Structure 1
Amino acid sequence: MASDSADIKAWLDTVTIDPAVRVLRPDYRALVLAAEGLRPGPSDEASEKLLVSAEEGARAWLAHTPVEEHPHLAAWREAFRAFGAKPQRTRPSAEALLRRAETGLPRVDRLTDIYNAISVAHVLPLGGEDLDHYAGPARLVRATGEEDFGTTAGGEDVVEHCPPGEVVWRDDAGVTCRRWNWRQCTRTRLTLATTRAVFILDALGPLGDAELTAAGDALTEALLASSPGARVAACLVR
């Protein structure tokens, strides 16, 4: 479990990016937000408004630009190829969401809807996880192949192991997200009981620091509007 609720900022200071990942993509940055005092629950009017706005904005630029040609998404495709992933089969999370914008983004729960809307509106991969289910600090590494990744298959809980060299987020208990931002584990997923969460906003070269900060500010604003009294801390990790 992460540190107590008075110290989310200290937990953020432990988030790291392994040098092997920096070699692969020196332009990578992560804006990591930790929040406490969140109000979980089903999708509501506020989260619906955010999703509708994100869908409308995405449809406007997708009408004249193929999703894979967006500069930031193109950079993410290159990053996936660099460690052996095939982005046309396992897409960066933001691209996968944007491909659903035309017919409608998923409605999951209040917190998930908020971060999905920000991801689409700002065209960057963004994931959210339950901080109370973390074991130690979050770090971005290249997998050895021995780390456990808990997921589901055919409705059953299963444990997978990533190919060596795959870029993954992990903690002391195993992989929390495979292929940089492709699929999150079941252990740390957000639920209707989540009150403390960590959100990771991924950026590569085409997305500048000012744009990354703007996305973080939008996420913070939406979280505070949805959960009055919540506290949010942020850290830019390079």
Structure 2
Amino acid sequence: MRVTLESTVKELIPNAKFGIIFYEDITIGSSPQMLKGRIRLFQESLNIDLVDKEMKDIPGIMEWRSIFKQTGTDPSRYRPSVEALYRRIKKGQFLEPFNSAVDLNNFFSLKYEIPLGIYDSTKINGDISITIGEEDNTYEGLNGREVTLHNMVHTKDATSSFGSPFVDSKRTAITEATTSAVHIIYLKPSMDNTECQEMLEAILKMFTQVHGGTGRVVMVGTGSLSHINRTM
């Protein structure tokens, strides 16, 4: 499975960077109690930190709001998923455990201030493209609503669109039956290559510590980005 960046992304998002991690032989279930406790404690600490802050004070959120504007998406109407998470935490609406993969995905999003999406590899048909949506690009989201992807950066396969930094599709959702997965990490354009690589490898390490298996890291982007392809 290959991941490519379409020309529209290169034109509209200077210095765009996307991390992709391919996992194999993983086991997903309920999050271990230690992980649940760590995620809960992190949310409580973040809630305190956000008391005197607004969303404009969170660098990662502001970078992704800016990207939405650059592609023609109104970030006040379609908020980046990381902003939606931060708003919940600020209100004290802490995230309840779902499964180990989703719980970790949300934790990484809060920790690194960026959107992430994780998908069942067996539900993805062919290669993955990162593109900008056209008027007819839609899917049923995990929120049960039809998601319109017009002017939004998102991922698609040979079948249709399946993921975005707004909300993901039901079609490729992770379940406890998933044994192979693809993690899309919507990196901040301001990050340098070394910082990106260190983050991706930290995500891979923690994810496989919880789920077992192996992972392969790839990074694609525009500008002077050097291609990274590493197996761990």
Q: What residue in structure 2 maps to residue 36 of structure 1?
A: 24
Structure 2 CA distance for aligned equivalents of residues 73 and 207 of structure 1: 14
Contact 1:141 1:170 in 2 (8 A): yes
Farther off after superposition, 97-106 or 34-43 = 97-106
Q: What residue in structure 2 maps to residue 20 of structure 1?
A: 8
One of 209, 216, 230 as aligned partner of 1:233: 216
Alignment of 1:1-238 (within 5 A): 11=1, 14-102=2-90, 103=92, 104-151=94-141, 162-163=149-150, 165-177=151-163, 180-228=164-212, 230-238=213-221
Contact 2:60 2:112 in 1 (8 A): no
- Would you say how many aligned residue pairs link Structure 1 and Structure 2? 219
Give secondary structure in 2 for the equivalent of 1:232: strand
Residue by residue, what CA displacement relative to the aligned partner does 1:28-62 show, whole Å, maximum 9, x if unpaired? 10110010111111233143134124314533542
Give secondary structure in 1 for the equivalent of 2:184: strand
Contact 2:59 2:113 in 1 (8 A): no
The CA deviation at 1:192 is: 1.5
The CA deviation at 1:187 is: 0.8
Residue by residue, what CA displacement relative to the aligned partner does 1:128-164 show, whole Å, maximum 9, x if unpaired? 11111000111111223334523478x6xx866643x
The CA deviation at 1:89 is: 2.4
Judging changes above 3 Å, is the alpha-carbon distance between structure 1 residues 91 and 160 closer, same or farther for their aligned structure 2 residues?
Answer: closer
* Letter matched to residue 168 of structure 2: Q
Structure 2 CA distance for aligned equivalents of residues 213 and 64 of structure 1: 32
Give secondary structure in 1 for the equivalent of 2:30: coil
TM-score (norm 1): 0.82
Q: Which runs of 5+ in 2 are unaligned?
A: 222-232
Structure 2 CA distance for aligned equivalents of residues 166 and 225 of structure 1: 33
> What do you get for the CA RMSD once the two structures are aligned?
2.2
Give secondary structure in 2 for the equivalent of 1:100: helix
* Letter matched to residue 123 of structure 1: E
Q: What residue in structure 1 maps to residue 227 of structure 2?
A: none
Runs of 4+ with deviation above 6 angstroms: none
Contact 1:54 1:118 in 2 (8 A): no
Contact 2:23 2:214 in 1 (8 A): yes
Q: Which runs of 5+ in 1 are unaligned?
A: 1-10
Contact 2:18 2:185 in 1 (8 A): yes
Give secondary structure in 1 for the equivalent of 2:88: coil
Structure 2 CA distance for aligned equivalents of residues 207 and 192 of structure 1: 33
